[in-house]
Amino acid sequence: MKRILVSGNNWLGDAVMSLPTLESLRAMEPGARISVLSRPSVAGLYAGLPYVDETIVPPARGKGKLRTWLGLVRELRRRKFDAALILPRSFSSALAPFTARIPRRIGYAGDGRSPMLTDAVPRDPDLLRVHRVRYYHHLLTAFGTPPEPKPPALEVPPEADRWAAEHLPEGRRVVGINPGATYGEAKQWFPDRFIETGKRLAKKWGASIVVVGGPAERELGDQVASEIGSRAVSLAGRTDLPQLAAAIRRCALFLTNDTGPMHVADAVGVPIVAVFGPTDWIATPPYGKRHAIVRTEIECSPCLKRVCPLGHHNCMKRVSVEDVVDACGRFLGAAT
């Protein structure tokens, strides 16, 4: 095949976990031109990747949703793709390649979209109990026998690395803290516990703290950094994706909820302590080996809810500051 479109994931964490699929696709189709269709918020993830030839970002919706969508379909049709690998499971993600008349369309079956796929890959229940990296990678079986997926990996552009050097505290023990979570409040550990943990890490290990997060988490990041004290700085809402990756890569440890920046930290090789509550610690943890998951057994977890239906967040309340500080100490002690 000469031209392959990959319909990319909408969320940062899922996009990072799909990178091994793109890398293996390049190995299976070395002569193809691989284009990734991506929303603007994650498009920067693909910059500089040797196995992606271009990123296609749909136009803004300023002229109306239908008109924008038709413009995208025309653009996809103009490019004459031979195949589309559709990573998201939504109806709309399959509709555009179908309407653009891309001859081969590969994606998971179900959700009313199977008739739009030429290769509707069965979504076996066992696939929901493996790591999401392998879940996406399984779609490549439509092309043949894929290689074993490599761990997600991101290269930091030199200009982003220079930016991080100017904005991060100096020293060997820089601890990144990510107190937010885009998907919903249920999977956020409590801000006061992040603050107390940051204070203890600064006092016991002499750590400098850098707080990160997206634009919607700027206020939260500023609050957490301010209350930790003079050893903390907030970059929340002040980075693009390459800058975020560069900032995280300079950390000795990254403390986080189960959210996109956690997977960025995994992809740049930084040790991770991740607090899990309602989300799936089997399907969406860091893929690499240098991480610790802090969670408590509770009957209703993982419920995968955005908001706790019981209203008391027991799965998060039972994760204590002491538990998290101890997990962080194991990594910081090893780095001495």
Residues 15 and 136 in one domain: yes
Residues 297 and 181 in one domain: yes
CB under 8 A, 24+ apart: contacts of 139-142: 139/21, 139/85, 139/87, 139/106, 139/107, 139/108, 140/21, 140/24, 140/25, 140/28, 140/85, 142/106
| CB-count exposure of residue 248 (10 Å: 0-12, 13-18, 19+) | buried
Residues 90 and 191 in one domain: no
Residues 231 and 144: their CA atoms lie apart, in Å, by 52
Q: What is the mean pLDDT for each group of 10 consecutive residues in the chain (336 residues)?
A: 93 97 97 96 91 90 76 94 96 95 96 94 90 97 96 95 92 91 84 98 96 95 97 96 96 96 97 94 93 91 83 85 97 77
Residues 8 and 107 in one domain: yes
In a domain, 234, yes or no: yes
Domain with 7, as residue range(s), is: 3-142
Residues 117 and 222 in one domain: no
Residues 170 and 317 in one domain: yes
Residues 336 and 332: their CA atoms lie apart, in Å, by 7
Which pLDDT score is estimated for 314?
84
Render pLDDT for 205-227 as a digit per residue (tens, 0 to 9).
Answer: 999 999 999 999 999 999 999 99
Question: By C-alpha distance, which of 148, 94, 96, 81 is closest to 120?
Answer: 94
In a domain, 300, yes or no: yes
Which pLDDT score is estimated for 292?
97
CB 24 within 8 A of CB 149: yes
CATH number, position 37: 3.40.50.2000
Domain count within the chain: 2
Residues 276 and 273: their CA atoms lie apart, in Å, by 10
In a domain, 310, yes or no: yes
Residue with tokens 């408590």: 296
CB 174 within 8 A of CB 208: yes
Which pLDDT score is estimated for 61?
63
Among candidate residues 142, 170, 199, the one where a domain is terminated = 142
Residues 36 and 135 in one domain: yes
Residues 205 and 118 in one domain: no
Residue with tokens 């696939």: 127
In a domain, 147, yes or no: no
Do the bridges between strand 232-234 and strand 253-257 make them parallel or antiparallel, or are there none, so unpaired?
A: unpaired
CB 140 within 8 A of CB 87: no
- Provide the 3-class DSSP secondary structure of residue 121: strand
Render pLDDT for 141-178 as a digit per residue (tens, 0 to 9).
Answer: 999 999 999 999 999 999 999 999 999 987 779 999 99
Residues 59 and 192 in one domain: no
Q: What angle do CA 102, 12, 299 make, to 5 degrees?
A: 110
Residues 87 and 207 in one domain: no
Residues 136 and 211 in one domain: no
Which pLDDT score is estimated for 301?
84
CB 299 within 8 A of CB 278: no
In a domain, 153, yes or no: no
| CB-count exposure of residue 35 (10 Å: 0-12, 13-18, 19+) | buried
In a domain, 151, yes or no: no
Residues 136 and 225 in one domain: no
Q: How many CB atoms lie within 10 A of CB 39?
A: 13
Among candidate residues 142, 166, 193, the one where a domain is terminated = 142
Which pLDDT score is estimated for 336?
55
Among candidate residues 108, 142, 176, the one where a domain is terminated = 142
